[in-house]
Chains A and B, each alone.
Chain A
Amino acid sequence: MKQSLLHRMKRDRVYLLLLIPVLLYYLLFHYVPMFGIVVSFMDYNLFKGVWHSPWVGLKHYRMFFSNPDAWLIVRNTLLLGLYKFIFAFPAPIALAILFYEMRWKKFRRFVQSVSYLPFFLSSVVLSSIMIMLLSPSTGWINKAIQSLGFEPINFLQRPEWFRTIYIASDIWQMTGYGTIIFLAALAAIDPQLYEAARMDGANRWKQTVHVTLPGIIPAIVIMFILSIGGILNIPFDKAFLLGNAGNLDTADIISTYVYRIGILGGGMSYATAINLSLGLVTMLLVYLTNVASRKVGETSLW
């Protein structure tokens, strides 16, 4: 017999009560800001507030798409995301396989421990370390370059170096931690498969290609989908901290541009319009990859 809604609500009243603060949190800090995107259709003024600022329709969207800066920051964001994806995505898979194949357990444990550590550093600490190590006059890296007989490079003032620095530091910070999920997948591979492969005369390399990699394909596909959404969604912190007037040509991405124009410059409506246009593109991108992966394989996120 199906119970009436009212009856079920009464039965679950304690649970519903517990849910109220949670729902309220999402309302206040996620849904109200979503409605805040109306400011992108106004000439928002901090002193006039939402109620008294004039409506201007799509003015800010037109402005953004006709602004030559727009192309630059979209390009910077996409390229940074794409390069990060290409170089940083395979890194934990490779490292996990190295760990997996390591026969000296104590050594393996040690390398694992030290490689997880950077994950817990804050973006501020990480960026600070990078700035110090890369300093043209006092940084260790430039000292090493000089001792090899080359000229020191002012890495953070040169636009052509920004992406390399950003992605290299990302790999340094995230690869170790990223191996955990692949190590779990590796642990689930049936050892008999290796035996069979050896019987067929496969060497270590062939075993890796034909047994190890296929064994962790489902994990790779899931992580692949999860990372696609990240291509456009680059965190603000590190790009902001490592960016400066010298490398702005490549370091300026959507979120730092929005911060500069919106918070520092006061062009809030314009900044929101940018943010929203690209938020929608990201959403579409995640959705499409998920549809594609469901078509291709059986793995999907939802």
Chain B
Amino acid sequence: MLDLLSVENLSVRFHDQKVLRNINASFKKNKITAIIGPSGCGKSTLLKTLNTLLMEDHEANIEGKILFDNENIDKIEKEKIRQKIGMVFQNPVPFPLSIYKNMEYALKYYGVKKDERKMIIEEKLKVTGLYEEVKDSLNKSALKLSGGQQQRLCIARALSIEPEILLLDEPCSSLDVKNTKNIEHMLLALKDQYTIIIVTHNLFQASRIADETLFMLDGEVIEFDLTENIFNHPKEQRTKEYVMGIYG
């Protein structure tokens, strides 16, 4: 199995505070990898680093190597990396535009023609199951959608530019059970086309959808293995305690 994205000796510091220590991990193509761990352990920071968004934060000091398709991402243009590695945030962040314009936003930037845009937008909205719900009100403000719809719109928007990897930062933390289920189903369906890395607080969610699971604690990778092994036969004591709910 091919490693599409891998991280070597990655450390991140904010001033004197080390947020990530010496992370080594590689993420397999067309698999869902879940990153779990208690809050403040650096999961979200890791995700932001993978998408190079952390470089926008001038206070962050990043060391180590990130390889995308065996190429160091320092050598690739930031914009190109971000196009290949899409990201969805914890709280839905639709732009204050219409639904259609939200979808169109990045496509226009990449110079996609009008009819092609329309095709892509329909396709991606269908993938996220949103199309049936909003097809008559594409010009409605995206802010008027419900939370779950907004998050699915954000996923569709991230998919609109055909990334190869999709990063999700606790996408379901502000959603109800039904919407969470929706999104989980969708992610499983998307697995064939995309490589998915999802940060989650919800251990059951990780065990339901992830092929592999990475457990982090205090900015370090404690254990990274098949999901089944992490939950049923953890090698590390700390992993065992966490998945059993002793802390976190």
Asked if A and B bind, the verdict is no
Instruction: Report which B residues bind A (CB closer than 8 A).
Output: none
Instruction: Report which A residues bind B (CB closer than 8 A).
Output: none
